[in-house]
Structure formats: structure tokens, C-alpha cells
Amino acid sequence: MPFLIDGYNVYHAAIKLSEEWSRITPSTLCGFIAQDMGRLGDLATIIFDGTRPRGISTEPKGFDCLKVIYSGPKSDADTLMEQFIQKNTAPRRLTVVSSDNRIRRIARRRKATSLAAPEYLGDLIKRLQQPPRQPKEPREKRHGVPEGQLNRWLELFGIDPDQPPDDTDMISF
């Protein structure tokens, strides 16, 4: 379920959250959101009002699950979010994060999930405090047999790696 996030709504909710969060920067917040999206296996588009500050990358490095957009000098994040919601071809799969009532109403009208910024931020913090999910399959399945073990398995099963199998080695059903 992709996320569409009003960046400054979540940022302002974060700085009001606690003393610890009061010094967060929009870039750091994007990093937390990217980390969360990586854990969820999902994608997020964050839209900020205005133009990109100098020296700030549009995407946190190493995270391909996050896209950061700045509305530009002649538009605002709410207008872009409305356009994204209206053009979305699968709005029921979309989660819209905004504290703006108009944006939330548009999201609900299109049957998208709508979360207020503080609500989303609370969910984000809970997910980040949980230990990362462990893959269901063993590491070897994803990365292959560790070096040196192949010969041990061949020897254990009596297979000569230099001799091609004959028909008697095949199992038939």
C-alpha cells in the first residue's frame, strides 16, 4: 500500500511530539520514513511545500522506497497531493497522510486510507521501535550455500562432481 505524505504536516507533528523530536530536521524525518518503508516493503512519496533547500538531496541515499518532491514556488503540497490522489489508478491501496481536512476528505472520497500526521507519526515510531522482522527463509536460501559446503554435501551424498549423471541417477514418479 503506497503512502502519500505531506512532509511538513508530519515534520510539525514531530517537533511538537517531545523534546527529543523537537530538533529533528526534515531530512532526518525522511530517513526515518525511508527506514520504515524498507521494513514495510512499501513505497512513499513525501511532498514538501516550496523549493528544495540547497545542499539537500531529494532522496535519502540508499533508499529506493522513498521519493521526495518539493511543490515549487508557485504551488503548494496540498495542491500536488490532491492531484496525486485524483490521478491514482488504485486509490484503495493508497495511504494519504495529511492533517489538512480538505486533503483527508478527498482521500476518503476516493476510498484511500487517510491518516492525520500525528496518528501516522505514532504508528511510525511504534514500528521503528520493534525489532526488524526476520526473513521466513534461511539465509542460505537467499544467498546460496556458504563457500566450502558444496563439496561436503556432494561427498555426503556420494556424488562425484566430475561425472555426469546417468539415467539411473534420476528419480521418476
Q: Does 64 or 129 have the greater pLDDT score?
A: 129
Residue 79 CA to residue 28 CA, distance in Å, equals 24
Give pLDDT, residue 32.
Answer: 92
Residue 107 CA to residue 110 CA, distance in Å, equals 5
Task: Delineate the domains of the chain, giving CATH numbers in brackets.
Answer: 3-129 (3.40.50)
Give pLDDT, residue 173.
Answer: 46
Residue 113 CA to residue 72 CA, distance in Å, equals 26
* pLDDT > 50? residue 164: yes
Max mean pLDDT among 85-89, 133-137, 164-168 falls in 85-89
Among 7, 24, 117, 10, residue whose Cα is nearest residue 58:
7
